[in-house]
Amino acid sequence: MAFLSSRRRRVRLAPELDDQDLGKLLKSLVATTRTGTIATSDLCVAQMSRLLEQDPGDWDRRTHRMDVLAEYLVGSHLSRAWVTREPRSADALVLHAWTQVAQARAQGHLEDPAGTVETCLRAAEIAPEDPTPWVALLAAVRMERRAQSQVFGVWNEVLARDRWNREAYLNMLAYLSPDEAGSRIQVLEFVDTLRARMPANAPCVATELTAQVHQYHAILGRGGLEALVARNHWSHAMAAQAIDRAAHTWSQPGFLRHAKALADLNLLAYALVAADRRAEARAVFEQIGGVVTAWPWRTGGDPVTEFDQTRQKATAGV
C-alpha cells in the first residue's frame, strides 16, 4: 500500500501526456506568457516554433502538440502575435486557427468564422502535405454546423494526408451525433465502418469506446431511474464488445504507440470502472501512472480527484 500511496501523490493533470518536450515548453510558457512585453512574446514564439519544427512528417505527434498548445493559448495574444510576425508560416497559421476553435468551444461560437476558415486554407496552401490545417478547418466547420457535404469534403482532405488522424475521427464522431448534426444511426454506421477498416492500434482506435462513453453519459444525464441503472449500458452487446476489444489489447506493453495513447488508457480505465470491471481496470491504472486527462474524469467533478478516488476503488484490497 505504501507504493500505491506514493503513486497517488504524483497524480496530476497533464495535457502533454508523455510528450516531455511539450511538457517542458508548457512549463516555460507558464513562466513567461501574458506579460505583454515584446521580448517575452518573441521568446515564446521562438520556443513554440522550435517544437513544431521537430519530427517533420509525424502528423500524429504534430496534431497532439497543436491541440495542446491551442488549448493553452486560449485567452492569450501569442497565436495572433506569431501569425502577425510570420504571415507565411504554416505553423503560425494553423496554431492561430486552432486556438480560435478552442476559444469557440468555451464561448459556444466562432468569433470570426470566415477569418478562421481563411487562415486554415492559407496554411493548407503553404504546406499542402500537412493534414493539420484541414483538421483545424474540420473543427471549425463542425462548430458552424455546416452541411454534411461540406464537412465530409474537409474530412476527406484530412484522410488523404493522414488516414487515421485521431482528432479528425473524434470531430466527425461528435458532428454525426444527435447533439450536433446527425443521429444515433449515423454514429453507429460511422463506428462500424471505421472498426472494419482500421488497424487495431491506429491513433483513432478510441473512437468506438468514446462513442460508448458518450452514450453512457447521455443516460446519466437523463437522471431518474435511467441514471440509477446506467451501469447496465455496459452489458449491452455493442458496449460490451467495445470495452472487451480495448481491454484485451490496449494495456499490452507497447501496443498503443500514438501520441495520445495515455488519453485512451484514461478512457479505458474510466469505462472499465463504470462497467464494474475493477480487476481489469487495475492493470490499466498501473500503466497510466499518475497522468490524468480532463475528459472523461471531469464529468464527475474535479478530474484529478475523480481519477484518484476511482483508482483507489479499483485497487481496494490490493
| Host domain of residue 220 | 1-18+206-318
Surface-to-core class of residue 64, CB atoms within 10 Å of its CB (0-12 exposed, 13-18 middle, 19+ buried) = buried
pLDDT band of residue 52 (cuts 50, 70, 90) is very high
Query: Is the domain of 44 the same as that of 146?
Result: yes
In the prediction, which pLDDT does 3 show?
Answer: 37
Q: Which of 116, 141, 167 is the last residue of a domain?
A: 167
Determine, yes or no, domain membership for 119.
Answer: yes
d(CA 294, CA 305): 11
Farthest CA pair distance, the chain: 58
Query: Is the domain of 155 the same as that of 279?
Result: no
Query: Is the domain of 109 the same as that of 212?
Result: no
Backbone angles phi, psi at 276, to 5 degrees: 60, 40
Residue 44: CATH number of its domain: 1.25.40.10
pLDDT tens, position by position, 13-36: 999 999 999 999 999 998 775 555
Query: Is the domain of 215 the same as that of 286?
Result: yes
Determine, yes or no, domain membership for 302.
Answer: yes
Q: State how far the alpha carbon of 23 is from the alpha carbons of 16, 51, 203, 212, in Å.
A: 6, 11, 20, 30
Determine, yes or no, domain membership for 196.
Answer: no
Determine, yes or no, domain membership for 293.
Answer: yes
Query: Is the domain of 58 the same as that of 7?
Result: no
Average pLDDT, the chain: 92
Our CA dihedral for 282, 285, 290, 293, rounded to 10 degrees, sits at: -140
Determine, yes or no, domain membership for 112.
Answer: yes
Q: Which of 114, 140, 167 is the last residue of a domain?
A: 167
Query: Is the domain of 318 the same as that of 210?
Result: yes
Once rounded to an integer, what is the mean pLDDT over residues 110-124? 97
pTM of the model: 0.93
Q: Which of 167, 198, 218 is the last residue of a domain?
A: 167
In the prediction, which pLDDT does 253 show?
Answer: 87
Residue scoring higher pLDDT (228 or 168): 168
Query: Is the domain of 159 the same as that of 224?
Result: no
Query: Is the domain of 230 the same as that of 312?
Result: yes
pLDDT band of residue 66 (cuts 50, 70, 90) is very high
Query: Is the domain of 228 the same as that of 130?
Result: no
In the prediction, which pLDDT does 5 show?
Answer: 45
In the prediction, which pLDDT does 200 show?
Answer: 95
Determine, yes or no, domain membership for 282.
Answer: yes
- Report residue 214 CA to chain centroid gap: 14
In the prediction, which pLDDT does 241 show?
Answer: 96
Cell of 311: 483508482
Cell of 126: 503553404
Our CA dihedral for 19, 21, 23, 26, rounded to 10 degrees, sits at: -140
pLDDT band of residue 39 (cuts 50, 70, 90) is low
In the prediction, which pLDDT does 1 show?
Answer: 36
pLDDT for 4 beyond 60: no
Q: Are 247 and 264 in contact (CB under 8 A)?
A: no
Number of domains forming the structure of the chain: 2
pLDDT tens, position by position, 254-313: 999 999 999 999 999 999 999 999 999 999 999 999 999 999 999 989 999 999 999 998
pLDDT for 2 beyond 70: no
pLDDT for 149 beyond 80: yes
Determine, yes or no, domain membership for 75.
Answer: yes
d(CA 168, CA 240): 25
Query: Is the domain of 145 the same as that of 223?
Result: no
Determine, yes or no, domain membership for 46.
Answer: yes
Q: State how far the alpha carbon of 30 is from the alpha carbons of 39, 78, 207, 248, in Å.
A: 15, 12, 32, 39
Query: Is the domain of 160 the same as that of 222?
Result: no
Cell of 10: 504524483
In the prediction, which pLDDT does 33 show?
Answer: 59
Q: Are 247 and 280 in contact (CB under 8 A)?
A: yes
Query: Is the domain of 291 the same as that of 257?
Result: yes
Residue scoring higher pLDDT (174 or 317): 174
d(CA 115, CA 111): 9
Once rounded to an integer, what is the mean pLDDT over residues 96-104? 97
- At residue 210, what is the residue type? T
Once rounded to an integer, what is the mean pLDDT over residues 91-103? 97
d(CA 295, CA 78): 26
- Distance linking the first and last C-alpha atoms of the chain: 7
In the prediction, which pLDDT does 315 show?
Answer: 82
Closest to 168 measured CA to CA, from 203, 192, 195: 203
d(CA 269, CA 273): 6
